[in-house]
Amino acid sequence: MHLTAVFRKVQKGYVGFVEEVPGTRSRGATLDEVRGKLADAVERRLEANRARAEKALKGKAVIREELPLPIGMKQADLLRHLQRYS
């Protein structure tokens, strides 16, 4: 699976966001700087989502398991793959 970073040139460098992960925005003087910051932003967003879910589910009976996401899979194939886990 790949994520899509979108960049835009602005007066003081570049801004960017990741289409598939809402809330992941960053800015920097160079594209490389923004790319690095976006990778960190995705990691922070996923960690925050996990913490929020753990808090909301605290004390509830749930089943947690890792969900493997094959690399390079097209979206339609990924959706079929994920249906096995629902």
pLDDT tens column, 16-67: 999 988 888 999 999 999 999 998 998 899 889 889 989 999 999 988 888 7
Domains of the chain, earliest start first: 5-83 (3.30.160)
The verdict on pTM exceeding 0.85 is no
What backbone torsions phi and psi does residue 8 show, to the nearest 5 degrees? -140, 135
Q: Which of 84, 78, 86 is nearest to 20 (CA)?
A: 78
Residue 68 has pLDDT above 60, yes or no: yes
CA distance 71 to 55: 30
In the structure, what pLDDT confidence band is assigned to residue 86 with cuts at 50, 70 and 90? Answer: very low
User: Contact at 8 Å (CB) between 76 and 70?
Assistant: no
The pLDDT score that the predictor gives to residue 76 is 64
Q: Phi then psi for 19, rounded to 5 degrees? A: -55, -40
- Identify the residue whose tokens are 């493997």: 68
**C-beta separation of 27 from 6 below 8 A:** no
